[in-house]
Structures are given as C-alpha cells and as structure tokens.
Amino acid sequence: MAIVVGVVAETSPGERRVAMAPGAVSVLNKTGAEFIMESGAGLRAGFPDSEYVEKGVRIAAGREEVFRSAEVILQVRGLGANPQTGGADLALFRSGQTAIGFGEPLTALEAARRLAGGGVNFLAMELMPRITRAQSMDALSSMATIAGYKAVLIAADSLPRMFPMLMTAAGTVTPARVLVIGAGVAGLQAIATAKRLGAVVSGYDIRTAVKEQVESLGARFVVLEMESGAAEDKGGYAKAMGEEFYRRQRELMGGVLAQQNVVIATAAVPGKKAPILITGEMVARMAPGSVIVDIAAERGGNCELTRPGQTVESGGVAIIGPLNLPSTIPYHASQMYARNIATFLKYLIKDGKLNLDREDEIVRETLVTYAGEVVHPKVRELLG
C-alpha cells in the first residue's frame, strides 16, 4: 500500500502559500507516495488544480476527504502558527496521523499539548537542525530569503528618494544609504537586493564571523567597538545576549543610524522576543523621510516603536512592521517551501512507509509530538 500524502488549503487569515507546489511532487515520485489535495489549495499561490492533476495528484471534493484519506498532512501554518482558525482541523485529525508544517512550537505550547492529546505526530519545520544534510530541508532559510528581498522593496517604495545614484541633466542624484541589521539569511538577501537597486549598503551583526559574507555582497561591515563573545549557538542561530550588551550596542548604534536613509532590521532569536536594538531616541536622530522596515515585527520587533502589522510615523521617520512577508510572494515562497518539505518527507519514507526514527538527529530535532505525548525536550521543558 502506497503512503497517501494530503495537502490542504491554508486557512490562516491572509495566508496565500500552499504546502506543495506541482513541481515538487516529482521529488516524492520514487518513494511511491500518492497525493490527495483539497480543491483550490494552490490557487492563491498561482497553481491551478489542473497543474496538480498533470502530476498525478488526486483532487478531493473537500477538506474532510483529505484528512480521511491521508496518512500525512502537509501544511504551511499548522495549529500553533494559525491560532485564529487552526483549531478547526483538530476534529478532522485522527490518532496516529502525522502533520508536517510550521507550528511555532517554542511559543505555541498549548497547541503542542492539544496535538498530542489528539494522538497526532507533529514535525515542526522551524526546528529543522542547521546541519549540512538538512540544508535542503531548511524552510526557515527559504522564507527568510523572501522576507529579506521583499523588505527592501517595501523600503524603496516608501522612501521619498531613489535608491541609485543617477547622473541627469538636472544634476546628480545621490544614492540612498541603507543599513541592514542582522546578517542572517534575511539580512544577506536584503543587502544583495539593496545593492542591486544601487544603494550604498552597510551591514551589522553581533557575529563578527559574518563580516566576510557581508563584504562579499559589496556592503561595508559596521564594527561597533564592543565584545560580542559567543554570539552564535551551536545550531548557527544568533544567541540572546545580556541586557548590558544590548544597552552598549544601542549606544554605539545611534551614531550609525543617524547617517542612514533606510534601516532594515532582521535580528531574531528563535522562540524568543526579538531584541530591542533601535530606541525611540535613536529614531529621533534620523533625518525626516527615513524609513525603518522591521521584519522582526512578528517577534515584537527590533525597534521599540514598531507596531506589528502597522506603519508608525515618528518625527517624520516611517517605522514599518510587516507581517508574514513570504505570503506576499506566494508563488516562489510555495515553490521553495514545497521543495523543503518534499525533501524532508522523502527522507522520512523508507520502503514505502513513514519511518520516524527518533535516534536520527533530523527526526529528533523536529518531532514535537509523538504517540500521544509531547516528546521534544525543549518544548517539554517550556511546558514544565
């Protein structure tokens, strides 16, 4: 019997992505997996049902049929990442079924408890370990790439000046100065995009090890004279630092910020509130017409004036706190996410069956609930 994989439409408000794109279906063909999909699930991302049918996907009459038929359910935003409407799916899941998707497991603890209570095995894509063999499954990095790109477009659209230097009959237009805070995947993509648009770009990160990457993209690496110590955890993510460190950082950063036209803030620590790196005082030193795009807004923001999902103006400076940027470019976001999730699922299928081997590092790190229990050590610890 072939393993049946179900794809459902996203119900989270404003979510336009889909967990499986037609092009990624072929990744799983050799495993013998069969697909069933809720009709219209890919439409908002730009993928009509007909494209899936061409790839051998069976289109279900409704959502219930997908849950009834599938052994594995693929989602972009599972219960924890969809607090508004995700609960409706709990009644459709059956014990022993496996769900894979984003689920905010380190903050949406009640969702993990409820999934375990329903006997659902849940694998969280955001817990994918940053190791070489899991690179092609790293959905967080894929989505961060899109967020970094889109943040710069938002900034360029909101700035009352142009990004590139132009020599015109009316004189020379000076280029915009852009500072990107945080040189992770989103930050590096933001640097590359701003550079392509012709801005003078600088990048800052507490991890001095990324200096080379920032400079390789043609940006200047900002060095603040302070001790960052071990600013990276063993998973390659930025680590939360002490309050004294952030205070000193803000002090030194104020002077750098005052010279910028655009600031893209991307500093986030998984499962924690984003650190405040830009104070109201620092914003007051910026020239009117400047723009801050805070893509850490979903985690509270790097600027203390950020309001998630809103644009705030302070002293002529616009502070933009966009939410769910990958969903604004749903076609490519879905393609990238689908490739990540399909590669992960292919890795889990052994001899036509789903094999959740808890000795395996990739499984161990991503498995949140299993056989009616919350099994992830970090999540268990947070649940007390």
Helix (H, G, I), strand (E, B) or coil at 239: coil
Active-site residue 357, yes or no?
no
Active-site residue 364, yes or no?
no
Those residues whose C-beta lies under 8 Å from the C-beta of residue 35, and which sit 6 or more positions away, are 4, 5, 6, 7, 20, 25, 28, 52, 55, 56, 57, 58
Active-site position among 89, 138, 205, 294: 138
Active-site residue 89, yes or no?
no
Active-site position among 135, 216, 259, 310: 135
**121-124 vs 98-102, strand pairing mode:** parallel
CA distance 216 to 349: 39
Active-site residue 138, yes or no?
yes
Active-site position among 97, 141, 249, 260: 141
CB 341 within 8 A of CB 348: no
CA distance 317 to 290: 5
By C-alpha distance, which of 374, 372, 350 is closest to 360? 350
Active-site position among 39, 58, 69, 130: 130
| Burial (Cβ within 10 Å: 0-12, 13-18, ≥19) of residue 151 | buried
CB 210 within 8 A of CB 204: no
Give the per-residue SS3 of 302-354: CECCCCCCCEEEECCEEEECCCCHHHHCHHHHHHHHHHHHHHHHHHHEECCEE
Active-site residue 237, yes or no?
yes
Active-site position among 161, 237, 285, 307: 237
CA distance 120 to 67: 12
Active-site residue list: 130, 135, 138, 141, 237
